[in-house]
C-alpha cells in the first residue's frame, strides 16, 4: 500500500511556498485540477506525518485509513486556507497530527487496552500483584 503512495509522492514532489499559494488561489477559485495537484503534492508530507506521529502498530493496522482521512482533510483545508496569513509551515500539519492522535485515543478506548493484558491483575492502580523480578543480578556489576 505505501509503495504506490510513495510512487505518487515521487511523481509529485514538494513545491515552494509561493507555488503552493498560487495553487491554493486557483483551487479556491474553482480549479479542480489545481486542487488535485495540491493534494497530490502533499502525499509525501502526509505519509511523513503519519510515520512521524503514529507508532508502528497503529500504522500497520490503520495506516491506510489514516492516509485516506488525511487526504480528505487536505481537500477541506484548501477551501478554508487564509491566503492573507503568512506562514512557512504547511497549513494542514496540525490537523493531520490531531487526526492521528484522535485515532490513537479512539483505538485505545475501544480496544479496552488493559484487558489485552489479562495475565496482569491490575486493580485500582495496584501493580504489586504483577510478577516482577525484583532481584538484581550482581554478576553484571
Q: What is the DSSP string of 47-115?
A: HHHHHHHS-HHHHHHHHHHHHHHHHHHHHHHHHH--TTS--SS-TTHHHHHHHHHHHHHHHHHHTTGGG
Residue 55 domain-assigned? yes
Residue 64 belongs to some domain of the structure: yes
Instruction: Determine if the pTM surpasses 0.75.
Output: no
5-14 pLDDT, tens digit per residue, is 889 999 999 9
Domain membership flag for residue 103: yes
Q: Residue 59 — pLDDT band, cuts 50, 70, 90? A: confident
Percent of the chain residues topping a pLDDT of 70 = 72
- Domain count of the fold of the chain: 1
What range does the domain containing 52 cover? 2-109
- Does residue 139 form part of some domain? no
**pLDDT tens, residue by residue, 14-48:** 999 889 889 999 999 999 999 999 999 999 999 99
CATH at 82: 1.10.1740.10
Contacts of 4 (CB under 8 A, 6+ apart): none
Amino acid at each position: 500500500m505505501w509503495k504506490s503512495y510513495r510512487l505518487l509522492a515521487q511523481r509529485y514532489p514538494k513545491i515552494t511556498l509561493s507555488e503552493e499559494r498560487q495553487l491554493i488561489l486557483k483551487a479556491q477559485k474553482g480549479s479542480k485540477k489545481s486542487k488535485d495537484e495540491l493534494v497530490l503534492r502533499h502525499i509525501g508530507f502526509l505519509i511523513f506525518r503519519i510515520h512521524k506521529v503514529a507508532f508502528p502498530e497503529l500504522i500497520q493496522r490503520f495506516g491506510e485509513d489514516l492516509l485516506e482521512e488525511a487526504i480528505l482533510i487536505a481537500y477541506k483545508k484548501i477551501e478554508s486556507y487564509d491566503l492573507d496569513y503568512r506562514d512557512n509551515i504547511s497549513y494542514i500539519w496540525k490537523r493531520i497530527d490531531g487526526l492521528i492522535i484522535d485515532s490513537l485515543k479512539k483505538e485505545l478506548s475501544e480496544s479496552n487496552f488493559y484487558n489485552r493484558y489479562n495475565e496482569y491483575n491490575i486493580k485500582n492502580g495496584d501493580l504489586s500483584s504483577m510478577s516482577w523480578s525484583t532481584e538484581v543480578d550482581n554478576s553484571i556489576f
